[in-house]
Structure 1
């Protein structure tokens, strides 16, 4: 099966997109699927996004139907799935998108912070998959589950400790579930992003982080990306959506239990940065950068 045939075969399928009405990636997922002819039923806690996404998708082959649900509240997510059980009946695709964290040292956080990080980045995924499974089975054609994780699930992400643990839980949960559901042809995979325009990624930084960047000028963040990302640019929304369409299409029918890293190469580098002032790729700065840093403090 070729690329065009695989995308054409998505038309007429039904997708559930949790967190699919707002944000660059969530909204992008719903619209990309609708463009491919998929009927999308999404939920989100952003009421403005819910109100506007239907109109944005009106000209697309698949269309988007949006509902309110807050994944932080198990009862709210259950209400959404109760609707799906009663009114939709079956589905072919499940996308679990939401997440969230605030950067902080572990000893500056509390149990409420931990509980929220675990719920937003792991707990709701378990609930969503369990509620969606009967819907996927009713299609009779297998199905595809894609859970969004992060590069932080694969490295020691200091100041994101509980978040990183929760995302790692989602990653290994997805791997284990893929094994359980393999014989039913229900595939379970993850997409791990890193530096994107996602709302949750931006919200993770503290106000003082943004202030320091602003003081350095408009191109400070793009310069940081050049040091950090081997491809010298952050992935765009379309890059992530291309990976998503691949994982939900029959092009990946033999792929399950894996994580697709869409990050411009940061999972490959894992700490090897392209330092300036002649230092090039190393985990830590060498003489050129260290001298410049020293000069700036003189």
Structure 2
């Protein structure tokens, strides 16, 4: 199937996007689907985003039914799925974008924070998949689920321990569910991003981290990305959305149970940074950088 045919095949499909009305990535996913002619049922806990997403989707050439839901609350998410079932007799695409990340040393966390991280990054996805499964099976023609995970699911992310564990659970849940639903032609995949515009807005760094960066000037964070991301820049929202569109289109019709890393190469480097002062790619700085730091 060619690229044009694969994208034309998306037109008229029905997608549910959990966390699809606000934030750079969630809103971008909803608008990206709309531009392909997909009809979207979305939920979010951001009321400003809910109020404005409709007009943007109409401009993109499709329709959206936007609902308030807080995925941290089981009853709120159930109420959203009750509404989905009232509106449509099938779902072709289910995307879970909602999530939460904060930086904490594990010794400084609490059981309340643990429960929140697990709920927001794993448990709600399990609940939503279970609620959505009858509608995903309804057409008999297959469907696609995309769960957002992260590079932190694949490495020892110190100061993000419970978050990373929850995202790893989502990743392996995705694999297992893909095997179970393979005969139904319901594909289940993950999209793992890394440094994207959503990370800062989700408080991935503590306030004191942002304060230190601010003291160094506006170019400091961009310069650090050049060390960290092999492509020397983070993926844009549009590039993350392109990854989603690939996974829900027929271009990936034989791909299931996989994690697609849209990260500019950071998952491939796995700790090899491009150090300055001539040191190049190494897991730790060499003489040039060390001399600059301590000389």
In the TM superposition, what is the alpha-carbon distance from 1:63 to its structure 2 partner?
Answer: 1.8
Q: 1:80–1:202: structure 2 CA closer, same or farther, 3 Å change rule?
A: closer
Q: Which residue of 2 aligns with 1:197?
A: 197
What's the CA shift string for 1:120-154, capped at 9, x where partnerless?
00000000100010111112211000000000000
Question: 176-185 or 282-291, which moves further after superposition?
Answer: 282-291
Matched residue, 2:253: 253
Q: CA deviation at 1:15?
A: 0.1
The answer to whether residue 223 in structure 2 is matched with residue 223 in structure 1 is yes
- How far apart are the structure 1 equivalents of 2:63 and 2:198? 23
Q: Which residue of 2 aligns with 1:27?
A: 27
Q: Does 1:159 align with 2:173?
A: no
Distance in 1 separating the partners of 2:259 and 2:40? 23
Cα shift readout 1:75-98 (whole Å, capped 9, x = no counterpart): 000000011112222110000011
Q: Which deviates the most, 217-226 or 80-89?
A: 80-89
- Aligned to 2:66, what secondary structure does the other structure show? strand
- Contact 2:102 2:202 survives alignment (8 Å): no
Preserved CA contact (<8 Å) 1:23 1:199: no
Q: Secondary structure of the residue that 2:60 maps to in structure 1?
A: coil
Number of paired residues?
Answer: 295
Deviation at 1:64, TM superposition (A): 1.7
CA 199–229 in structure 1, closer or farther in 2 if over 3 Å, else same: closer
Structure 2: tracts of 5 or more residues without a match = none
C-alpha separation between the residues in 1 aligned to 2:215 and 2:87? 52
Cα root mean square deviation, aligned: 0.9
Cα distance in 1, alignment partners of residues 55 and 139 from structure 2: 28
**Structure 2 match to 1:3:** 3
Partner of 1:70: 70
Give the structure-1-normalised TM-score: 0.97
Q: Is the 8 A contact 2:72 2:124 kept in 1?
A: yes
Distance in structure 2 (CA, Å) of the matches to 1:201 and 1:179 = 34
Deviation at 1:60, TM superposition (A): 2.2
- CA contact under 8 A between 2:19 and 2:96: conserved in structure 1? yes
In the alignment, does 2:68 pair up with 1:79? no
Q: CA deviation at 1:199?
A: 5.1
Aligned to 2:114: 114
Deviation at 1:202, TM superposition (A): 4.5
- Equivalent residues in 2 for 1:36-185, closer than 5 Å: 36-185=36-185
Stretches of structure 1 that go unaligned for 5 or more consecutive residues are none
1:193-213 Cα distance to aligned partner (Å, 9 max, x none):
000001566511111000100
Name which of structure 1's ranges 238-247 and 59-68 shifts more when overlaid on structure 2. Answer: 59-68
- Kept in 2: contact 1:31–1:64 (CA 8 A): no
Distance in 2 (alpha carbons) for counterparts of 1:200 and 1:128:
26
Does the 8 Å contact 1:38/1:61 carry over to 2?
no
Quote the Cα distance in structure 2 between the aligned partners of 1:190 and 1:277. Answer: 37
Q: Are 1:154 and 1:168, in contact at CA under 8 Å, matched by a contact in 2?
A: yes
